[in-house]
Amino acid sequence: MTAHELLQPLSEYFSFCTRKDNQLAIKTGDGQPDDLPEHSNRAAEITLVCDNLRSVFNVGSLFRSAECLAIAEVLLCGISPLPSHPNMSKTAMGTETKIKWQHFTSTEDAISYCREKGLNIYALETVCEAKSVFETTFTLPMALVVGNESLGISPEVLSMCDHYIKLPMLGWKNSLNVSVASTAALFHIVFGEKHG
C-alpha cells in the first residue's frame, strides 16, 4: 500500500477525534537538493531576521522555507519562539535542526550584527516607501527583516534598514501571513531575474 492509499483508511479510523496535520503524517523521505549552484550561492548570502514574531507556527514555517532555500542563517529576535519550543517541529518538520540560527534579545542588536558582517538590510513591510520585490535589484550579501504578525516591523528597526520592499497586492487585504510573504519574497530573491 502506498502512503497516499494508507492516508484514507487512517483518516477514517481516526474520524471520531479532531486531528491535526502532524498527527497523521506519513514520512516518505526527503528528496535530493536540486543542483543549482548559482542560486545556492545567492541563498548562502541571505540572512533572515525575525522581529518579535509571536507564532511558533510562523517561525517553524520560516525555518522550513529557509532550509528549503539553503538560506545562510535565521536570526530570532525578542519574543520570537526558539527551535526548542515543543510545537516548533509541527511546521518546521525537522528543519529547525538543519539551519544555522541565533537568538538576539533585541532586533536592533541583530541588525548591528548584520551590519558588522557587511550585509545590506532590506525590510519586508507595507510602508509607503516600499518598492515591489519584483522591481527591486537586490545587492548581496543581504538580510531580510520580517515583522510581527499584528504590528509589523517596529519603527526603530525600520529606521535601521537600507531598503523597504513589499509584495504587490491586488485584493482588499494589504498583506499576507508573515511566513507566506517571507517565503514568496525569498524565492524571488533567490530565483528572480534581477541580481545586484
Residue 108 near residue 160, CB atoms below 8 Å: yes
Residue 175 CA to residue 162 CA, distance in Å, equals: 21
Mean pLDDT, residues 3-16 taken together: 63
SS (H, E, C) 103-139: EECCHHHHHHHHHHCCCEEEEECCCCCCEEHHHCCEC
Distances (CA, A) of 188 to 18, 69, 113, 119, 133: 37, 11, 25, 18, 8
In a domain, 10, yes or no: no
Residue 108 near residue 156, CB atoms below 8 Å: yes
Beta pairing, strands 131-132 & 101-104? unpaired
pTM of the model: 0.84
Higher-scoring residue by pLDDT: 24, 2:
2
Q: Which domain holds residue 168?
A: 36-191
Q: Report the percent of the chain where pLDDT is more than 90.
A: 57
In a domain, 4, yes or no: no
The band of 96, judged by pLDDT with boundaries at 50, 70 and 90, is confident
The band of 186, judged by pLDDT with boundaries at 50, 70 and 90, is very high
Summarize pLDDT for 59-87 with one digit per residue, the tens: 999 999 999 899 999 999 999 988 888 88
Residue 119, domain CATH: 3.40.1280.10
In a domain, 183, yes or no: yes
Cell numbers of 12, please?
477514517
How many domains are contained in the chain? 1
